[in-house]
Structure formats: C-alpha cells, structure tokens
Amino acid sequence: MPVTPLPASIDGTVQLLAKADYIADRSLATVLYLALKMGRPIFLEGEAGVGKTEIAKVLAASLGRKLIRLQCYEGLDVSAAVYEWNYGAQMIAIRLAEAEGGGDRERIEHDVFSDKFLIKRPLLQALEPDPDGAPVLLIDEIDRTDEAFEAFLLEVLADFQVTVPELGTVKAPSPPIVVVTSNRTREVHDALKRRCLYHWVGYPDAARELKILRTKVPGISKKLSEQVVAFVQALRKEDLFKVPGVAETLDWAGALTELDAVALDPATVSDTLGVLLKYQDDIARLDNSKVKALLDEVKAEMRAAE
C-alpha cells in the first residue's frame, strides 16, 4: 500500500479530516498542517469532550498510519511507557544455558539482553520503522502523569530517540506524528510546551456543531438537530460549573433519537438532562422553569432566523 501523502495545504488538511468525519475549524487545521510540515509534536489542550483524542485517531485513519496510544496515569513509569525486559523468559534462558553447561557469563548476559527479550511499550513502538510511514503517537491526558515523566518525555519529543541501557539508543528513522493532549487538571511545564505547537481546542460555534452533529448522528431530523445545537449553545452561556462539550451534544442527540423525539419539549429535556450535565449543582440550577425559559428563548430565536 502506498504511503498516503501528507496534505499540501491548510485546505487540504481540512478536507483530509472531513473525509474521516472530523469537522475541524481553520485554526486547528492550520496547527495540524504546520505540525505535519515541520515534524513538531502537537499539544492540544481543552475541556473534556471537545474532541482532542479524536484528532489523533482521525489523523491515523486518514493518513493510513498506525495509531499508538499511550494513556497517561499517575505512576506511569518507563517500564510501562517505554520498554520492559521479559524477565520470565530471561530466567528460563539463563537456567537453560546453565543446564547446557555453557556458563560463559559474558555470552549469557549478551544473549539475555537482546531484542528477543525486550517487550516494547508504546513509546518504543512509535520509534520503530513502519512500512506505512511513521505512526501517529497519541500521548493522552499528559496532565494525569507526574512532572518526572514529563521531563523524560522531553528527550523523546525533542530527538525522537530513547536509550535502553543494555541495548543502546533507539532512534526513529522518520519522526512519528505526535499528538499530546491535556485536560488541564494541572499545568504542564513550559519546557514541554515549548517543543510542541500549542492549540487550545474550544467549543465549536453553532454552525460547526450542527455540521458535526449531522455527520456523527446521521439519522437525526433537521429540526431536532437544530434545536439540540441551539439549546446546547445557549446552555454554554449559562453560569454552570461544567458546560457540556461536543461529546455530550452527540450523546444527547443520540439519546433523543433513541427516545423517538422529533422536537424538544421541556419534559424531555428535564428527563435527559443527565446526559448533558454531570454535576448535581448544575442539574439543580436548571430546574423546570429555567429549562422552559431557555427552550422558549431558543425556539424564538429559531423562528426569528427563519
């Protein structure tokens, strides 16, 4: 299979993503294009549910590259992120060598610490040559891990190489496409951000959200989709602790179609509010009368637009 060429322009990037059902705005497409062109990692920050992780998946799918995902968590260390030796196999190899009487220490050590006994974790996998082109490396939710791991990543992201003491340095023949995401549960250090192209993924505007909704939930009626988007957009202007993201909009639209709703009414909205809002305080704030007022506002606006 021939390697899918990288997009040649910003418009090309928008189209490439659109082909894989990702409706990107121009600023994001610009950053992606630059990152691909310059071979720099992309640092995506934004609220939960705005489609940060999705970008990496879509990039991999549309470029025909392998997606390697490193999900960060507290306590993530080198043995889970880069490599680990297969100790069981090593022990057996040592015992076998002993049983055979080939007790040459140098040779055993050399054999045991060879590629054969190396378990490759995501970061090392991403540096390996791939016939389809360099893979997409997704380092997801980097804010969940600690500063020590972040510091380790600096070397990987700057030079695209890691060092295994027993084997030597592994360097990527062509640098992988790196996407780093963060939910901002803590501030990531400037040194790491400096090496990446930064983009804040915000909530989409109404037109783009409508496009996303229709692409992702194909069966939805025109009227309902417009109402859903208008309602969510209005909700984002409210003083809420956590406003719904795009993922919530899609979930909600899916839930409403499952309930065979053709248009929004206050009762349905109140019943399904748990799909949109995930904090009790927020749900309590949006009581029946408030929902009704919001809905009336939305409907009035839509009538005015017609």
> Which parts of this chain interact with another protein (CB under 8 A)?
73-77, 79, 85, 87, 90-91, 94, 98, 103, 105, 108-109, 112, 143, 146-148, 184-187, 241, 281
Nearer to another protein, 96 or 259 (CB): 96
Amino acid making up residue 257: T
Q: Which residues pair with 139 in a beta bridge?
A: 70, 180
Say how far apart CA 26 and CA 29 lie, in whole Å. 5
Q: How far is the CB of 50 from another protein (least distance, A)?
A: 15
Say how far apart CA 263 and CA 224 lie, in whole Å. 5
Q: How far is the CB of 2 from another protein (least distance, A)?
A: 42
Nearer to another protein, 153 or 261 (CB): 153
H/E element holding 80?
helix 78-81
Residues present in the chain in total: 306
Say how far apart CA 47 and CA 90 lie, in whole Å. 45
Q: How far is the CB of 293 from another protein (least distance, A)?
A: 22
Which DSSP string do the residues of 273-294 spell out, in sequence order? Answer: HHHH---HHHHHHS-HHHHHHH
Nearer to another protein, 3 or 96 (CB): 96
Nearer to another protein, 49 or 176 (CB): 49
Q: How far is the CB of 78 from another protein (least distance, A)?
A: 10
Say how far apart CA 262 and CA 286 lie, in whole Å. 22
Q: How far is the CB of 128 from another protein (least distance, A)?
A: 22
Nearer to another protein, 48 or 197 (CB): 48
